[in-house]
């Protein structure tokens, strides 16, 4: 089999991981991202390979960016007569409870693009008002006048009786429109979330289709899969009809990669810290991947299963500035890939986190990206000096005003990232001291040890492929499908009745995985109940087995602090998670050495600003480290695509595959 390639597009770099199954060789490289045309960086990277790959697994930010930047297709919304304002009314939820001027995010479709059809299905699934054929022709004329390119269709109670939606979809597709049906995207109750998810899928589908078509045409029909937001892979033809499932595909790859690498080391409880050029993504994994169906993007509900990832606008390219009150701010605006930080020498004029690291000595300009893209220390110093003047900062001891400003930039960035880590751990009832912090992304290893210390975490894992771990996760991911059906069952429910209702979902899952080429032995089909006490609004997901009720009580006690075994429960949805087991790459082992790395890996000793003082620390070549080597902080370790900072009081140990395990005193 020829090589497999994992590709992850970031805000600054596009990462590539190449795995050759025949000989077990695994190698990586990066290209600057091309924001004006993301496909260009992907194609340049693929075309630079010695031979065409056999399979490409791709994490795409195209759908995410289209939603965040509101650059999707001109989309219309079609619903049942009387519910035209569904998207605009939304829910009563307010993210800022005491802000009298709080504004809801604008829907993707203005009111002029919302249309109705005369039909009605009852809450019991009975057709109360048939859909007349002439109504579809009138709808087509109205959509033509509006200039719709894509249409999201969400009729009332279509998750119980989808015939009317299918009639609408068939006619609109016949007319050449992109169509997303709620009964195909999210066949479950809660019409606002269902409508929002369906419209989002229609909104990004044409953008994704054009992007994927260009790649497929240029790559000549190579086997091509895309990472979903749930951490599983999907074929490109399915992406076109289920586009919303790829809304967070890039960050999802990082979680899969972190879980895979940490699992090889026997660690299953981990907090992931992914810091790239534009943003930082964090998540908590307590054994199982953290799936949620209550996610959102830019305030818009997205109801399909996705990994529970929290994002903040703090990355290596985050811009530092002084606000009108004289306070130092970092992010969420980023210098991105073009022009990038000032030290990239591409015309950037704003101080960034990367510039601050270079001024403080934590980045080595001559070793950046293996020496292929040397950084400009003078440009970084210039922008930090200007920032110091704007903030009216003075030197302190041995430190110049620019170095004081650089320390301030890192402290503010750290505050943003520490707050994000507390959101997904402490605020959800988890003690971060019970977890290992797994850091990745190009900038992650520069910050991880200090953040871990702030949270009381004792151990940090820096994977050998930290800078490209999301792309590695693409290759380690399985094929995954999610199926749901609303049932609304209450009272004493026989287990046999529940098992019977799962059968259609299981049959569909089995057929889909067989079409993907998986034998039964490589399939895992998981049955899940969504359960709540009668009268509650929200549910807990419980594995379906003989003790599902007891498991629900335990989860409710853990989540909310109480449980009532005598109270009536209600099952709202049945879910099936179907997995086709893939073949993750085998991580290459490195040579063993002594515990002392000075003879083989020490490059030089250099000045570094540590906790307000200038001291001389060792700089190690990460590629020359051997299994068994130990490094004592303060120290720096440079790899071709990232730099690791070990603060005072920390010790790093290299394992058999080149991962660095940092222990904090």
Decide if pLDDT at 312 tops 90: no
pLDDT score, position 397: 82
pLDDT band of 370, cuts 50, 70, 90: low
Which of 396-400, 530-534, 570-574 is the least confident region? 396-400
pLDDT of residue 357: 95
Residue at token pair 């594995």: 543
Q: Residue 549 above 60 pLDDT?
A: yes
Which has the minimum average pLDDT: 217-221, 222-226, 279-283, 336-340?
A: 336-340
At residue 311, the pLDDT reads 84
Q: Which pair of tokens denotes residue 630?
A: 């130990």
The average confidence (pLDDT) of the chain is 91
Mean pLDDT of 287-308: 87
Please report the DSSP string for 442-504 in residue order. Answer: SSHHHHHHHHHHHHT--EEEE-TTGGGHHHHHHHHPPEEEEEEEEEEEESS--HHHHHHHHHH
β-sheet bridge partners, residue 328? 322
pLDDT digits (tens, 9 = 90+) for 465-519: 998 999 999 999 999 999 999 999 987 888 999 999 999 999 999 999 999 889 9
* Stronger pLDDT, 149 or 333, i.e. the higher one: 149
- The 10s digit of each residue's pLDDT in 163-193 is 999 999 999 999 999 999 999 999 999 899 9
Residue 436 CA to residue 523 CA, distance in Å, equals 30
* Selected residue with higher pLDDT from 509 and 640: 509
The pLDDT, as a whole number, for residue 17 is 95
Query: Per residue in 232-260, pLDDT tens?
Result: 998 888 888 889 998 888 789 999 999 99
Give the pLDDT mean for 348-375: 85
Q: What pLDDT was estimated at residue 63?
A: 83
Contact predicate 647/620, CB 8 Å: no
Query: Among the residues of 99-188, which ranges form H helices?
Result: 133-146, 163-174, 182-185
Amino acid 594: pLDDT = 78
Residues 188 and 182: their CA atoms lie apart, in Å, by 9
Q: Which of 485, 477, 478 is nearest to 576 (CA)?
A: 485
State how far the Cα of 243 lies from the Cα of 463, in Å rounded to an integer. 31
CB atoms under 10 Å from CB of 329, counted, come to 16
The DSSP string of 38-68 is HHHHHHHHHHTSSS--SEEEEE--HHHHHHH
- Rounded to whole angstroms, the Cα distance separating 636 from 647 reads 9
| pLDDT tens digit sequence for 1-57 | 588 999 998 777 889 999 998 888 999 998 888 878 888 999 999 999 988 898 899
Percent of the chain with pLDDT over 70: 99
Q: What is the C-alpha separation between 508 and 514, in angstroms, rounded?
A: 10
- Which parts of 563-639 are beta strand (E)? 569-580, 602-610, 613-621, 630-632, 635-639
Where residue 334 falls among pLDDT bands split at 50, 70, 90?
confident
Question: 560 CB contacts (<8 Å, ≥6 apart)?
Answer: none
- Cα 484 to Cα 293, 481, 552, 575, distances in angstroms: 11, 10, 19, 4
Q: For 167-181, 360-374, 570-584, which range has the lowest pLDDT when averaged over its residues?
A: 360-374
In the predicted model, what is the mean pLDDT of residues 326-349?
A: 85
Query: What does the pLDDT look like over 95-134, one tens digit per residue?
Result: 777 887 777 889 999 999 999 999 999 999 999 999 999 9
Query: Which pLDDT score is estimated for 561?
Result: 87
| Confidence (pLDDT) at 475 | 94
Q: Name which of 418-427, 586-595, 646-655 the model is least confident about.
A: 586-595
**Can you tell me the mean pLDDT for 523-532?**
96
What's the confidence (pLDDT) of residue 319?
92
Kindly state the average pLDDT of the residues 589-612: 86
Tokens 């209702």 appear where? 501
Cβ neighbourhood burial of 558 (10 Å; 0-12, 13-18, 19+): exposed
H-helix or E-strand spanning residue 215 = helix 191-219
């Amino acid at each position: 089999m020829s090589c497999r390639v994992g590709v992850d597009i970031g805000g600054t770099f596009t990462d590539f991981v190449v795995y050759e199954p025949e000989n077990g060789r695994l190698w990586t490289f990066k290209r600057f991202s091309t924001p004006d045309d993301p496909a260009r960086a992907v194609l340049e990277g693929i075309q630079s390979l010695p031979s065409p790959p056999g399979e490409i697994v791709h994490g795409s930010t195209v759908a995410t960016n289209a939603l965040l930047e509101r650059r999707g297709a001109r989309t219309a919304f079609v619903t049942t007569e009387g519910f035209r304002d569904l998207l605009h009314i939304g829910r009563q939820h307010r993210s800022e409870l005491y802000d009298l001027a709080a504004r809801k995010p604008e829907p993707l479709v203005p009111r002029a693009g919302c249309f109705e059809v005369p039909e009605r299905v009852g809450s019991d699934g009975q057709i109360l008002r048939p859909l007349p054929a002439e109504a579809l022709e009138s709808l087509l004329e109205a959509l033509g006048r509006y200039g719709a390119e894509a249409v999201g269709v969400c009729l009332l109670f279509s998750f119980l009786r989808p015939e009317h939606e299918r009639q609408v979809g068939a006619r609109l597709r016949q007319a050449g429109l992109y169509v997303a049906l709620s009964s195909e995207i999210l066949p479950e109750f809660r019409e606002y979330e269902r409508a929002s998810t369906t419209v989002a899928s229609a909104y990004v589908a044409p953008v994704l289709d054009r992007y994927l078509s260009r790649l497929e045409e240029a790559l000549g029909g190579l086997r091509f899969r895309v990472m979903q937001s749930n951490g599983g892979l999907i074929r490109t033809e399915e992406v076109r009809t289920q586009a919303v499932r790829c809304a967070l595909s890039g960050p999802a790859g990082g979680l899969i990669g972190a879980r895979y690498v940490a699992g090889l080391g026997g660690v299953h409880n981990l907090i992931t810290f992914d810091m790239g050029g534009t943003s930082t993504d964090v998540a908590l994994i307590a054994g199982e991947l953290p799936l949620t169906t209550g996610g959102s993007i830019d305030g818009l509900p997205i109801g399909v299963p996705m990994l529970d990832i929290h994002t903040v606008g703090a990355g290596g390219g985050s811009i530092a500035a002084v606000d009108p009150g004289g306070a130092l701010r970092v992010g969420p605006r980023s210098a991105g890939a073009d022009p990038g930080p000032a030290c990239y020498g591409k015309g950037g004029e704003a101080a960034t986190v990367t510039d601050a690291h270079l001024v403080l000595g934590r980045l080595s300009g001559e070793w950046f990206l293996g020496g292929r893209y040397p950084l400009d220390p003078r440009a970084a110093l210039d922008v930090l000096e200007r920032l110091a003047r704007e903030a009216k900062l003075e030197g302190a001891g041995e430190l110049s005003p620019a170095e004081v400003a650089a320390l301030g930039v890192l402290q503010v960035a750290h505050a943003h990232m520490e707050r994000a880590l507390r959101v997904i751990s402490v605020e959800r009832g988890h003690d971060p001291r019970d977890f290992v912090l797994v850091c990745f992304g190009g900038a992650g290893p520069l910050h991880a040890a200090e953040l871990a210390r702030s949270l009381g975490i004792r151990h940090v894992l820096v994977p050998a492929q930290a800078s490209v771990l999301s792309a590695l996760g693409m290759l380690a991911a399985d094929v995954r499908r999610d199926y749901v059906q609303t049932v609304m069952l209450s009272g004493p429910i026989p287990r046999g009745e529940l098992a019977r209702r799962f059968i259609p979902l299981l049959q569909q899952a089995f057929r889909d995985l067989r079409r993907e080429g998986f034998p039964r032995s490589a399939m895992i089909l998981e049955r899940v109940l969504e359960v709540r006490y009668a009268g509650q609004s929200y549910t807990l997901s419980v594995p379906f087995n003989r003790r599902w009720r007891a498991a629900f009580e335990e989860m409710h006690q853990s989540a909310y602090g109480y449980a009532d075994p005598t109270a009536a429960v209600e099952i709202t949805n049945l879910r099936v998670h179907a997995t086709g087991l893939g073949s993750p790459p085998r991580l290459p082992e490195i040579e063993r050495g002594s515990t002392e790395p000075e003879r083989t890996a020490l490059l030089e000793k250099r000045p570094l600003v540590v906790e307000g003082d200038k001291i001389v620390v060792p700089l190690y070549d990460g590629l020359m480290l051997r299994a068994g080597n130990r490094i004592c902080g303060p120290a720096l370790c440079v790899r071709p695509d990232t730099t690791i900072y070990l603060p005072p009081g920390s010790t790093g140990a290299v394992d058999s595959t080149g991962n660095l395990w940092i222990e904090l005193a």
